[in-house]
Amino acid sequence: MARVLAVIRKFAGRWGLIVALAALPVYYGATDLFNGYQAAVVAGHPVIHHDLSKLGFNFAEGLSDGAIWALIAIGYTLVYGIIELINFAHGDVFMLGSFTAVGLWAPLGLGLTTGPLGLAGGLLITLIVTMVTTGSLNVLIERVAYRPLRKAPKLAPLITAVGFSFILQNIGLLWQGGSQHSVDDLIGAQTTAFTIVGVPILRGYLLSFVVMIPLVILLSWFVTRTRAGKAMRATAQDPEAARLMGINTNATISLTFLLGGMLAGAAGLVYALYQTNIWYFQGFKAGLIAFTAAVMGGIGNIRGAVLGGLIIGVIQSLSDSRIGPQWTEAVVFGYLIAIMVLRPRGLLGEETREAG
């Protein structure tokens, strides 16, 4: 009987997960094909299409949003993987990244009249400065708030992380005020760059992937190929053994916070360009979504964080468009619960000390 239950659980964990992930796209794809959807209104009459263009648009929009969540989620997964701490302040580092990036546009002369070459150069400088700023801020947070509590009960650094989150939120509140601020649409984020099989690909979508893909590739190379990256993996696996082997674990942990903060800064710039508005409270929601993505993909797993971010982006897009934005958070966390039940260690598995 126990063997039969084990087989059923294994089958449900594999195929049930596929069914859960495919449910929304398959249902709405079939609905679009058979029932059609309103694509436009001509002379007061609705134009009904029977194709998958709307679903394709949902995927394009969702994947571009998910690329931003993935960059933030990697910061959560790196930190948790190495010191098993949920860095609640990470979302607010992302928020300050947006503020920093927007604050650099005027000194660099970036505006709606800036030419393509000047815009590309200015945004590259903005990206580098923002990443360095947020990375340094994250290192400062680790040095001031977390390192002194390294051997304290786990609740102490957790509460400290929450406290630092509120501190950073208030810095953003003092910096930009409590209202949402519109920023210049420097890249024409909602302008169609080209069309693929009837699906418009906007410039904002391209920006998300142009920034996310190289950074993830570089990070993966750094973690797997370089001496510092191997030190990070060794410290995550067994800090005491790593210390005995001559690895400076404090410096390695600081490096981890630096990398996570830099990716959050890159996400902050992309968010400001893509959404064309910034707000001191944007880090709370983004942090919650990104941490959910990290858990969904498998905490401590970089590829899992990217996969989780992309999946959540698609779920959000489908829910916003088909069900209603008021239900989106419930749908996202419903998926998270289903995945945790079917695959407790996440989609690609945890890479933590307990997971081995």
CA dihedral 46, 50, 52, 57 (to 10 degrees): 0
User: What is residue 348's predicted lDDT score, i.e. its pLDDT?
Assistant: 86
* Cα–Cα distance list, 22 to 19, 51, 232, 335 (Å): 5, 18, 35, 11
**What are the strands, taking DSSP E only, across the chain?**
37-42, 45-49, 181-182, 192-196, 199-202, 277-278
Neighbour tally for 47: CB within 10 Å: 12
Are residues 295 and 106 in contact, defined by beta-carbon separation less than 8 angstroms? no
What CATH code would you report for 65-342?
1.10.3470
Query: Residues spanned by CATH 1.10.3470 within the chain?
Result: 65-342
User: What is residue 353's predicted lDDT score, i.e. its pLDDT?
Assistant: 60
Tokens representing residue 298 in the block: 């498998």
3-class secondary-structure state, position 352: coil
pLDDT averaged per 10 residues, the chain (length 356)? 63 69 90 89 84 94 96 95 90 97 95 93 97 97 93 89 95 93 94 91 95 96 94 91 92 96 97 95 94 92 94 95 93 89 83 59
User: What is residue 8's predicted lDDT score, i.e. its pLDDT?
Assistant: 62
Buried residues in 152-176 as b, exposed as e (16+ CB within 10 A): eeeeebeebbeebbeebbebbeeeb
How does DSSP classify residue 143? I
Instruction: Name the pTM for this structure.
Output: 0.93
Tell me which residue of 19, 15, 37 sits closest to 28, measured CA to CA: 37
**Residue 326, class by beta-carbon neighbours within 10 Å (0-12 exposed, 13-18 middle, 19+ buried)?**
exposed
**Residue 97, class by beta-carbon neighbours within 10 Å (0-12 exposed, 13-18 middle, 19+ buried)?**
buried
Tell me which residue of 68, 59, 60 sits closest to 282, measured CA to CA: 68
Show Cβ contacts of residue 245 under 8 Å, excluding neighbours closer than 6 positions.
234
Residue with tokens 């249902």: 27
* Cα–Cα distance list, 146 to 46, 78, 157, 354 (Å): 58, 15, 6, 21
pLDDT tens digits for range 68-102: 999 999 999 999 989 888 899 999 999 999 999 99
User: What is residue 349's predicted lDDT score, i.e. its pLDDT?
Assistant: 80
**Alpha carbon distance 251, 232 (integer Å):** 10
Name 48's bridge partners: 38
Tokens representing residue 37 in the block: 């959807």
Residue 284 identity: F
Neighbour tally for 73: CB within 10 Å: 37
User: What is residue 354's predicted lDDT score, i.e. its pLDDT?
Assistant: 58
